[in-house]
Amino acid sequence: MAETANVSLPRAATPANRSLARGLDILALLSETPRGLALHEIARALRLPKSSAFNLIHTLLEKQFLRYDADTAHYALSLRMFELGASARLHISAESVIRRYMREISTACNETVHCGVLDGMDVVYVDKVESTRSIRMSSRIGMRLPLYCTAMGRAMLATLPDDAVRARLAGQRFQSLTPRTISDMDALLRELAAVRAQGYASESEETNENVCCVGVAIRGRDGDAQYAISVSMPTFRAEEAPRTLAIQQLLRAQRKIEQFLRTD
């Protein structure tokens, strides 16, 4: 993935339109909640007075961006929003969508975020968003590492049944990159079972000492893993709270990116 160019937008002559901003916030909130939300739920989530939320929602209903279900008293996105999204996605590549969520993850966690693809028995790093911290990862775009000892590689392997994993890695030499590197196929299959159960992969000091990583696979419409994304951090920063945040961010991005890929 190529780094996107920085484009300077003209500075607004007046402050942002608050009503427009709040209306867009409502659309963004409902995009995360397919079942819809009641008026009081929208107002509470966006910290709006009910009267203000009602006026905004009424305008969005009039413009057919929302629909109202009288049985549940819920508001949800309308088919018009789907039509707008379908039109917009014609001009958006999968790589740009992935990079957008990589940036969001990096902003939330301030750790290095990678994207990789499966190539033979390796994962190839195809994009990277750096942390702003002084201690960073020494990875680079184009780097190639074995599937069996990386979080991205394990996340992609876990989308396959065990017999397909054995076939793919037939002849694989389980080289120890560090003293903690996984050592054989049986240990790998146990690890992949855990990945499937918890929904994400992890590794700690298996490819680089003092570095740990969590990652998820990104499946396309056919269910195959097309990409993987991960968050890498030094082990001294990998306490429970930042690690949990990284996992939550990855799972959210996984869901959003797969929604995009499956409507292609």
Task: Encode pLDDT of 203-240 as tens digits.
Answer: 999 998 899 999 999 998 888 999 999 999 999 888 89
Confidence of residue 2 (pLDDT cuts 50, 70, 90): very low
Share of the chain above pLDDT 90, in %: 66
Residue 96's pLDDT is: 86
Does residue 151 have a pLDDT over 60?
A: yes
Residue 131's pLDDT is: 85
18-88: which CATH architecture?
Orthogonal Bundle (1.10)
Does residue 88 have a pLDDT over 70?
A: no
Confidence of residue 162 (pLDDT cuts 50, 70, 90): very high
Residue 214 sits at the vertex; the CA angle it makes with 149 and 261, to the nearest 5 degrees, is: 100
Does residue 89 have a pLDDT over 70?
A: no
The structure tokens listed for 34 are 């397919």
- Cβ pair 242, 213 in contact under 8 A: no
Provide CATH 3.30.450.40 ranges for the chain: 94-262
- Alpha-carbon distances, residue 8 vs 5, 88, 178 (angstroms): 10, 22, 44
Task: Identify the three-state secondary structure at position 94.
Answer: helix
Which H/E stretch holds residue 74?
A: strand 74-77
For 236-253, what is the mean pLDDT?
93
For 49-53, what is the mean pLDDT?
93
Whether pTM exceeds 0.85: no
Does residue 72 have a pLDDT over 70?
A: yes
For 189-216, what is the mean pLDDT?
94
Which region among 131-135, 148-152, 175-179, 254-258 has the lowest average model confidence (pLDDT)?
Answer: 131-135
Residues 6+ away with beta carbon under 8 Å from 113:
102, 103, 105, 106, 128, 129, 229, 230, 231, 232
For 35-62, what is the mean pLDDT?
93
CA-nearest of 113, 104, 79, 97 to 261 is 97
Which region among 132-146, 186-200, 244-258 has the lowest average model confidence (pLDDT)?
Answer: 132-146
Which region among 82-86, 166-170, 243-247, 250-254 has the lowest average model confidence (pLDDT)?
Answer: 82-86
Provide CATH 1.10.10.10 ranges for the chain: 18-88
When the pLDDT of each residue in the chain is averaged and rounded to a whole number, the result is: 87
CATH topology of domain 94-262: Beta-Lactamase (3.30.450)
